[in-house]
Amino acid sequence: MPTEQEEFYLKTISDLERRMRDRDPFEILGSSVLIRKLFLDDDPLVDQINRNYKFGITFYVIRPTPIDSDEYAILDDLDTSRVGKVPTGLTRDEFFKIIVLRIKGKEYTIRDVILFEANIIGAFHYGMEQSEKDKILKILDDQMSFGGYPSSLLQLKAIGRVVLKALDTLTQYIRQKRN
């Protein structure tokens, strides 16, 4: 039987799975808070749960090839489901340091996108952009959309899919404890 903390983890994962299937921008935006809670908070939920199990967590991505340009964007190209591309396994630190955007000479990592969505755009806190990087991301989100989504939400959907795959073994193990 899962512990109370493990049930909380499973509910977080179920919520993230639901948001990744949803097409509503608000629902997608909310996934940033879940990913932040799982990996980026001071005592990340994944670490709390995995202390006892010590499952290896590997993030499989199509490693972006940086372009030597002032402007560069990886939108949903992180997803490993594309045909003909071989995914690369990364550690948590490597994954969250992937540069997914370069604009006006400033680089943005997966971590930056998640925190921007969670803390600035309003998934958790609705706040005015703080740094020059935040201001540039806000302008980009306001002016660029792809498939009906602001650019950072497309990135967030790809990030969420990769996160769910990385956590699959741990999640399935805890789900089996329910039986």
Q: Where are the domains of the chain?
A: 4-176
On the question of pLDDT at 67 being above 90, the answer is: no
Averaged pLDDT for residues 51-61: 95
On the question of pLDDT at 111 being above 70, the answer is: yes
Q: What pLDDT does 123 receive?
A: 43
Is 137:116 a contact under the CB 8 Å cutoff? Answer: yes
Distance in angstroms (rounded) separating the CA atoms of residues 134 and 53? 37
Distance in angstroms (rounded) separating the CA atoms of residues 115 and 157? 14
Between these two residues, 106 and 128, which has the higher pLDDT value? Answer: 106
Highest mean pLDDT among 12-16, 112-116, 144-148: 12-16
On the question of pLDDT at 13 being above 70, the answer is: yes
Distance in angstroms (rounded) separating the CA atoms of residues 179 and 175? 8
Task: Provide the CA 76 distance to its chain's centre, in angstroms.
Answer: 11
Q: What pLDDT does 25 receive?
A: 85
Distance in angstroms (rounded) separating the CA atoms of residues 107 and 126? 23
On the question of pLDDT at 177 being above 60, the answer is: yes
On the question of pLDDT at 170 being above 90, the answer is: yes
Q: Considering only CA atoms, which of 89, 76, 85 is closest in space to residue 169?
A: 89
Burial class (CB in 10 A: 0-12, 13-18, 19+), 147: exposed
| Residue whose entry in the numeric block shows the structure tokens 């370069």 | 102
- CA dihedral in degrees (69, 65, 170, 11; nearest 10)? 40
> Maximum Cα–Cα distance for the chain, whole Å?
53
To the nearest whole number, what is the mean pLDDT of the chain? 82
Distance in angstroms (rounded) separating the CA atoms of residues 8 and 52? 16
How does residue 16 score in pLDDT terms, banded at 50, 70 and 90?
A: very high
Q: Burial letters for 20-55: b for 16+ Cβ neighbours within 10 Å, e otherwise?
A: beeeeeeebbbbbbbbbbbbbeeebbbeebbeeeeb
Q: What pLDDT does 154 receive?
A: 80
On the question of pLDDT at 35 being above 70, the answer is: yes
Averaged pLDDT for residues 158-177: 96
Is 38:171 a contact under the CB 8 Å cutoff? Answer: no
Averaged pLDDT for residues 63-88: 71
User: Per-residue pLDDT tens for 148-158?
Assistant: 666 677 888 89
